């Protein structure tokens, strides 16, 4: 019995080897299932369909003249784009110049505003109160002897009626210089150098 079991097992192994041997040699030689060749794809076309989904005949083939015009149209479009791009660069440069000019004006205005603030703050409240309580002729004599900017600063902080009466008591040249300084330091947009 032992022999028959051994014989049956040996036969099964030999049968399996015989069956598998051709398959392994075919695979070793590159055989076996060969990959399918790539399918041939026809050239792709654009299908035009109507609103109902039915195919519509495409445009007729272009004539030589139409082909020439289409080729020229592309070059003309490129030329238009390049001209537009050049114009945009020119406009961009111009806008940049205008921005620079505005920045320069802004800086000038800031400087003028700082100078005006400094001018208005230069006369202390105590000094202004002293000149406000003096009579016009006495105040005019003393302010005429002061620096023109300082005198103008004091007059700006006085009431308009007091300042005008003090200026009317001054020498006309001195009053004109002080009034000019007041205008120069307080009028917006004037950057004229002091006279």
Residue whose token pair is 């015989």: 18
CB 143 within 8 A of CB 131: yes
Is the residue at 175 inside a domain? yes
What's the N-to-C CA distance of the chain in angstroms? 138
The residue from 84, 106, 122 where one domain ends is 122
Is the residue at 17 inside a domain? no
Phi, psi of 48 (to 5 degrees): -105, 125
DSSP code per residue over 71-110: HHHHHHHHHHHHHHHHHHHHHHHHHHHHHHHHHHHHHHHH
Is the residue at 89 inside a domain? yes
Q: Which domain holds residue 150?
A: 123-186
Chain centroid, CA 96 distance in Å: 11
Question: How many domains are contained in the chain?
Answer: 2
Residue-wise pLDDT tens digits, 25-72: 555 555 555 666 777 777 666 677 888 888 887 666 667 877 777 777
> Half-sphere exposure of residue 21, counting CA atoms within 13 Å on the CB side?
6
Residue-wise pLDDT tens digits, 101-118: 999 999 999 998 888 888
């Amino acid at each position: 019995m032992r022999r028959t079991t051994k014989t049956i097992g040996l036969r099964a192994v030999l049968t399996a080897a015989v069956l598998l041997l051709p398959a392994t040699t075919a695979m070793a030689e590159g055989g076996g299932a060969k990959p399918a060749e790539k399918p041939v794809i026809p050239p792709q076309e654009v299908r035009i369909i109507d609103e109902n989904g039915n195919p519509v005949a495409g445009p007729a083939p272009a004539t030589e003249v139409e082909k020439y015009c289409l080729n020229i149209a592309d070059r003309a479009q490129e030329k238009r784009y390049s001209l537009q791009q050049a114009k945009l660069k020119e406009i961009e440069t111009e806008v940049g110049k205008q921005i620079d000019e505005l920045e320069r004006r802004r800086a000038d205005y800031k400087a003028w505003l700082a100078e005006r603030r400094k001018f208005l703050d230069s006369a202390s409240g105590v000094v202004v109160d002293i000149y406000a309580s003096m009579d016009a002729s006495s105040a005019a004599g003393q302010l005429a002897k002061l620096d023109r900017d300082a005198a103008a600063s004091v007059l700006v902080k006085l009431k308009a009626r007091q300042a005008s009466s003090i200026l009317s008591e001054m020498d006309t040249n001195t009053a004109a210089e002080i009034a000019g300084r007041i205008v120069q330091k307080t009028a917006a947009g004037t950057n004229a150098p002091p006279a």
